[in-house]
Amino acid sequence: MDILPEETPVWQYIEKTARSVAGRFGFSEIRFPTFESTELFARGVGDTTDVVQKEMYTFTDREGRSFTLRPEGTASVVRSLIENGRCSDTMPLRLYYLINCFRYEKPQAGRSREFFQFGTEVFGSASPLTDATIISLAHTLLSELGIGQGSLHINSIGCPACRPAYREALKGYFSAYTDTLCETCRSRLETNPMRILDCKSPVCREIAAGAPKTIDHLCPDCADHFAALKTYLTAEKIPFTVDTSIVRGLDYYTRTVFEFIAEGIGAQSTVCGGGRYDGLVRELGGPALPACGFAMGITRLILAMEASGVKIESDARPLLYIASMGEAAKAKALEIVAALRRRGISADCDIVGRSLKAQMKYADKIAARYTLLLGDNELAAGRAGLRRMADSTQTEIALDDLAEFFTAEAAYRSEASRTEGL
């Protein structure tokens, strides 16, 4: 997908904010390849999931090896930790990433075949405190992005100790609807009946509404874990709803699963999804290492921000544009602009030979905050007219004072922006 220049400021803002929030929670960035061995996702994501069965972009290289464009990030992170010997690092290990992913799905608002995610992973802690921490990170980020209508939905889907009994309960329930379920769910009835709960078919969803609930089949340890999570979320003043319909679409989840839902952005209203996956590291060849995390779809975050009235201004908007007349003035304009840029100040001047009138129109079009009119007379006097574009007020300023003036102006705007974000 193309992200055009007028669209990139909000993407950059989300990425910057995500990095900032993750850093405050003690997370470090990890980067990994765009494609991996197909086996990694078949084993990690689950070969009975829609992702593996229907949605992966898979190809064979010149040596006959099967590779897949990553459909998600967690399996790649686990593979990286195992290959690089990081499973014995000091725990908990807290990681985040910003990646593009690929799934062959029907494009619609908030869903495309190439999509972008911010994700987090925590390894080495089985405590519900860790679950609460990553939920708190997601809640904090959504708040700082201005998404005020996001609501948290949580559930527990049990563990290998209690899952078999629940699986049999599901099979018993759905067996009565064999002739009504969609073809895919009929095949899931024997291989993975929990996947039926995640089916998007209206008929299957209606049948699933009456299915046994996971929280009614939890073992004592899972029940205690879920109760503690609710206690910690309450202590953090993070409101939540227990939603037994949440099972998530990937096989590696255990115990906690959660979603943040944003209203007003269409059918694809889940802006964040995650949970615990305590068996994934061992499943992919590593040691027994508990883990949990989440992923946020950046396109959906943008839709939610728009629905909340959040507008992000481009950082490319120059603080100063110099309109020049004559060769000497052009050279001086370049000199001033270069000096300001070296100080970290956004400044611009004419580089295509526009007339003075055209330069002023251009300055207005690029939303420059100030313009400076520079010609032979101004060069001789060492002073020029500085116009504030917001209200067209104009004052004279010594050319030698420009650097000091705009350094102070840039610092003021930076502080004002930071304060507004608190």
Residue 383 covered by a domain: yes
Residue 201 covered by a domain: no
Are 292 and 349 contained in the same domain?
A: no
Residue 186 covered by a domain: no
Residue 158 covered by a domain: yes
Are 34 and 143 contained in the same domain?
A: yes
Determine the pLDDT at residue 223. Answer: 96
Are 251 and 152 contained in the same domain?
A: yes
- Structural domain count, the chain: 2
Residue 180 covered by a domain: no
Are 300 and 328 contained in the same domain?
A: no
Are 265 and 391 contained in the same domain?
A: no
Residue 123 covered by a domain: yes
Domain extent, residue 111, equals 8-162+218-307
Domain end residue (candidates: 307, 334, 353): 307
Are 354 and 239 contained in the same domain?
A: no
In what side-by-side order are the strands of the sheet with 347-349?
Answer: 347-349, 320-324, 370-374, 383-388, 393-398
How do the pLDDT tens digits run along the chain, 422 residues long? Answer: 788 988 999 999 999 999 999 999 999 999 999 999 998 988 877 665 666 777 888 999 999 999 999 999 999 999 999 999 999 999 999 999 999 999 887 766 656 788 999 999 999 999 999 999 999 999 999 999 998 757 999 999 999 899 889 989 999 999 999 889 998 888 888 888 888 887 878 899 899 889 999 999 999 999 999 999 999 999 999 999 999 888 876 677 899 999 999 876 666 688 999 999 999 999 999 999 999 999 999 999 999 999 888 988 776 789 999 999 999 999 999 999 999 999 999 999 999 999 999 999 999 999 999 999 999 999 999 999 999 999 999 999 999 999 999 999 888 776 655 545 43
CA dist 160 → 112, 121, 182, 255 (Å): 34, 21, 27, 10
Are 29 and 146 contained in the same domain?
A: yes
Determine the pLDDT at residue 338. Answer: 96
Residue 204 covered by a domain: no
pTM, entire model: 0.85
Are 287 and 354 contained in the same domain?
A: no
Are 345 and 299 contained in the same domain?
A: no
Are 274 and 334 contained in the same domain?
A: no
Task: Supply the DSSP symbol for 213.
Answer: P
CATH number of the domain enclosing 135: 3.30.930.10
Distance, CA of 398 to CA of 336 (rounded, Å): 12
Residue 1 covered by a domain: no
CATH number of the domain enclosing 399: 3.40.50.800
**Span between the terminal Cα atoms of the chain, in Å:** 33
Using an 8 Å Cβ cutoff, are 209 and 196 in contact?
no
